[in-house]
Amino acid sequence: MLSCDKLINETVEMIDVFFKKYWETSDVTVLGYKEPTYKSDFVKFQSLGVDTGVSEVCQQLHNFFSNKSDKHFMLSVSDMPIVDYVDTELVDFLQNMVVLNDDVGRCSLTLCNSTRPHNVVDVVDDELTVIENVEGAEYKLSSVYSIWNKEYFLKYLQESTDLWDWEVNASAKSINDGWRIVGSVPSPIDYTHLFKQNKLRRDWYYSTEPGSTNKFNEEEQLKLKSIFNLKI
């Protein structure tokens, strides 16, 4: 999970509370800069170097993952806490699918892909639909919970500055590049999105997933307010 100096302690604490509750088998590493002072046995930390601002983050991510031997990994950003129990069996199923198909560049672990033009690839036991976005779909690249093929992830990072540029402009360049973007309905992860353009969203405690009615309960809302020092 990607963070920054401003939110590093908040990120680690949020994972320590909400991942431990909703995804206790997860193996989470926070990518940041300065080492967090909040300590957790549940969360690992690795530094990307020096926090020089958003305009350098894509190059820093490129440098970091270029030196990793892992061919696949999961990634998200820090303002998207999980709001419900993760379907770990579905995560494993999708991970195996990505590993067995070298042309899959990204597999979304949320329903984001289902809201964009797609085709049905497979139906499993009449309960799970595997989808693939059409080549012209927007946001082939996304910082929301996904399993990545490292080669595909690195392909467009060097051409980008910040993550917004990467998601929007690099996604446009990725059309017809031969890489497949897949996902599933239902999806394994339900989450909220706290901030938009550095401002707290009015619906910050509600799921952002289409059709989901999940939201943080009052105790969880108070905890998030405390962690992120939310002024509401």
- pLDDT tens column, 137-168: 888 999 999 999 999 999 999 888 889 889 99
CATH number of domain containing 185: 3.90.550
Q: What was the pLDDT predicted at 210?
A: 94
- In this prediction, residue 158 carries a pLDDT of 82
Q: What is the mean pLDDT of the chain?
A: 95
Mean pLDDT value of segment 50-54: 92
Please give the pLDDT value at position 79: 94
Q: One-letter amino acid identity for 199? A: K
For residue 101, the model assigns a pLDDT of: 97
Burial class (CB in 10 A: 0-12, 13-18, 19+), 187: buried
pLDDT at 136: 85
* pLDDT tens digits for range 177-195: 999 999 999 999 999 999 9
The DSSP annotation for 143-187 comes to SSSEEEEHHHHHHHHTT-SSHHHIIIIIHHHTTTSS-EEEEEES-
Nearest Cα to 179, choosing from 108, 66, 101? 101
List the one residue out of 97, 31, 115, 77 whose CA is nearest residue 192: 77
Cβ–Cβ < 8 Å for 217, 111: no
Whole-model pTM: value is: 0.95
Q: Are the beta carbons of 45 and 30 closer than 8 angstroms?
A: yes
Give residue 223's domain range: 5-228
Domain count, the chain: 1
Indicate the angle between helix axes 150-157 and 57-66, nearest 10 degrees. 140
pLDDT given at position 49: 96
Phi and psi at 87, nearest 5°, equal -80, 90
